[in-house]
Structure 1
């Protein structure tokens, strides 16, 4: 861990040294832009909090397997002609007050209560919380992937306009001085605008004096349509989120059906009552209890809720089918566009070219790279990893 920290410190120091030499506060590479965005982007940070919340839901549902243990202390003064029971706002645990006159009367109770059978509701509730965490993590992966794709696309724009600036500034023929100045001005404007968009996508201050560093070249990946579709169906976060929701709806139907099952609980308590908290004259009482509750009739509300759950489950199945079709369409369109621009780049011999571009060549590479990042977004994975 210490070695990793030293490496990051060394890299950060080198970046700051390079930035100081160039007159910029930050010199951004594509990799550093992505890593910074994943660390400070608001959408990513918000979703990280949602993941932590979902983890606490699992802790909450796991508590159903443990007994509930309460300690209650009550001190009352009363003059009763008949016994009364304090409950509700006066006492979270019911307190019995006898038919007598007492200036001060103490009731101390320690109780434990545990549900030992609930028709599988506790297990289903815990499983629902676990699936919900998986869903929220997939939503986090989706947000991270979208942020990464956005940063890549905008970073490509920055490199594209930076190359155009170099092209126009070095142009010595074919343009009048006025035309050349106009093109330089437009390219500078587009670069400044892309740089602001990049800072916003990362989450940095928009007033940061920054520049980008990288090689503007064609993004080439040999991949087939079937491979893209297979990757999308297997790894695309939207697909996994829909599957999680379908499982959750199925569990919801089961939970609603389980409300018809009996609930069996056991409990025990020790109670001390009297004019003293401890000592002579304090009455000691205890009990052990078993309770069985069997739902019989609620006007049909239970069955209506079960039907609602089944309707939601069918809706989730239809939604998954709709998303599958949308994914297939997006992958086909992105793959078609990427192959078109890849063919154009190959015909112009731009596959390995990294300098001395013409304006038309820059446009082809820009469109190729944008279509590549669009294909990645449609597939849902980093294609460089496959």
Structure 2
């Protein structure tokens, strides 16, 4: 009996343990699920910040900047002297002086005498070497300038990608905001129609009313479809999960900002990263020409060595040298001339590309300016129409239900057109600022 009671007690404890684990696991999953369903509210500034921090292209461009920065440090390092320390231990038997490979320190093992040939001995060397290139045409300075220009090019690439990323996020934000406004207006129109009845109308009026209602519902279905697509585009542009539950907070308002085409063209020439990149690429190709030309000039270098060597410690043999070296290229099968021509052709190609990109940017600015001016005119026109709809109570007096539905449809269309006009002028302004490279305010 006692054993049975103990077993029952142990079984109860085991069951309680399983029940505790089950409830604890359920609690954890419930907390995680509740956290996942928490709605996230995003403003325009937060959305742009997320787009910049989550953009894979920007992250890659940032790594290019770091790579270019390290290349610049590497290029600057050639301006400093090279200091080396070498220590060797060798066992050898040489009938003539033996020169070791560069990997082993360019050490010379001495020749043995006839009496010493049968003896394999130890040999120790310790050497400190110092070398510095004093002059090599323009190679040193051009290499440094080339790395500096490459670093600026990487920064220019980052700026161009950032401008596009910010513009895309801002445009998707306003598109989503405008569709939300449209959905609110549509729901308000449906509520208006739901408060009226169509029982007393004749068949003709009922038919006309039903057709207008169907038109309104079709508009609502399209708005809902566009809203879902806009949500996906927005989430993709800011780089967060597509199943994120969120809401956006902002005002769909436009403050008129006049633009001058000449100023826009001047700003684009100064601020567009793409144009800066072509200028920098042209400089890099010019430096490549200088680097190729430097191969025709002699190289002057200064160096010295201090070496201790012997068969045992302490080392008694001491050697040193100080050397000035002159290397003059004479002939390499005309390869140097081919490299120079190649770099010159590349430089000419960069000049052509720069002119082409400059013309493309000018065309983009002019097109965006025309779109912006048209969007302003459309906005002003739709604003005046919207002011007429501030009080629609007079339109709904003493009318049939079919007329009520028709007027509701017309009012809805005008309200949606106004929202489209506001959205278009905001997006046109963003596009103009993107092609200009700065704010037009």
1:30 aligns with 2:44: yes
| 1:115 aligned residue | 133
- Residue number among 251, 268, 273 corresponding to 2:309 in the alignment: 273
| 2:74 aligned residue | 60
1:306 aligns with 2:340: yes
- Residue number among 218, 235, 257 corresponding to 1:199 in the alignment: 235
- Residue number among 334, 338, 363 corresponding to 2:372 in the alignment: 338
Contact 1:267 1:288 in 2 (8 A): yes
Write the mapping of 1:205-220 to structure 2, written as runs, cut at 5 A. Answer: 205-218=241-254, 220=256
Write the mapping of 1:83-98 to structure 2, written as runs, cut at 5 A. Answer: 83-89=97-103, 91=104, 93-98=105-110
The number of equivalent residue pairs is 358
Contact 2:382 2:417 in 1 (8 A): no
* Stretch of structure 1 that moved more, 178-187 or 339-348: 178-187
1:378 aligns with 2:435: yes
| 1:225 aligned residue | 261
1:76 aligns with 2:94: no
Distance 2:74 2:39 in 1: 46
Note the C-alpha offset of 1:212: 0.8
| 2:423 aligned residue | 366
Q: In the TM superposition, what whole-angstrom CA distance separates every residue of 1:260-301 from its partner, at most 9, and x where no partner exists? A: 11110011111111223x41x542111111100011111111
Distance 2:245 2:213 in 1: 29
Contact 1:220 1:351 in 2 (8 A): no
Note the C-alpha offset of 1:26: 1.8
| 1:248 aligned residue | 284
Contact 1:71 1:110 in 2 (8 A): yes
1:263 aligns with 2:281: no
Q: In the TM superposition, what whole-angstrom CA distance separates every residue of 1:323-376 from its partner, at most 9, and x where no partner exists? A: 1110111111111111111111112226998x9870111222222222222212
1:292 aligns with 2:359: no
Contact 1:345 1:351 in 2 (8 A): no
| 1:152 aligned residue | 170
| 1:14 aligned residue | none
Name stretches of at least 5 consecutive residues in structure 2 with no aligned partner.
1-33, 113-118, 194-208, 391-413
Instruction: State the Cα RMSD in Å.
Output: 2.2
Distance 1:239 1:161 in 2: 36
SS of match in other structure, 1:348:
helix
Contact 1:160 1:216 in 2 (8 A): yes
Distance 2:245 2:382 in 1: 36
Q: 1:252 to 1:350 in 2, by over 3 A?
A: farther
* Stretch of structure 1 that moved more, 201-210 or 137-146: 201-210
1:48 aligns with 2:52: no
- Residue number among 151, 173, 176 corresponding to 1:133 in the alignment: 151
Note the C-alpha offset of 1:102: 3.4
Q: 1:99 to 1:352 in 2, by over 3 A?
A: farther
TM-score by length of 2: 0.76
Contact 1:118 1:264 in 2 (8 A): yes
State the structure with more CA Rg.
2
TM-score by length of 1: 0.87
Q: Which runs of 4+ in 1 moved over 6 A?
A: 350-353
Note the C-alpha offset of 1:180: 4.3
Q: 1:266 to 1:192 in 2, by over 3 A?
A: same
Q: In the TM superposition, what whole-angstrom CA distance separates every residue of 1:114-153 from its partner, at most 9, and x where no partner exists? A: 0111112111111111111111111111111110011011
SS of match in other structure, 1:268:
strand
Q: In the TM superposition, what whole-angstrom CA distance separates every residue of 1:176-223 from its partner, at most 9, and x where no partner exists? A: 555544433432232222122222211222222111111112353201
Contact 2:131 2:301 in 1 (8 A): yes
Contact 2:138 2:290 in 1 (8 A): no
Distance 1:176 1:298 in 2: 86
Normalized per residue, the structure richer in helix is 2
SS of match in other structure, 1:316:
helix
SS of match in other structure, 1:207:
coil
Contact 2:386 2:418 in 1 (8 A): no
Write the mapping of 1:143-182 to structure 2, written as runs, cut at 5 A. Answer: 143-171=161-189, 172-173=192-193, 178-182=214-218
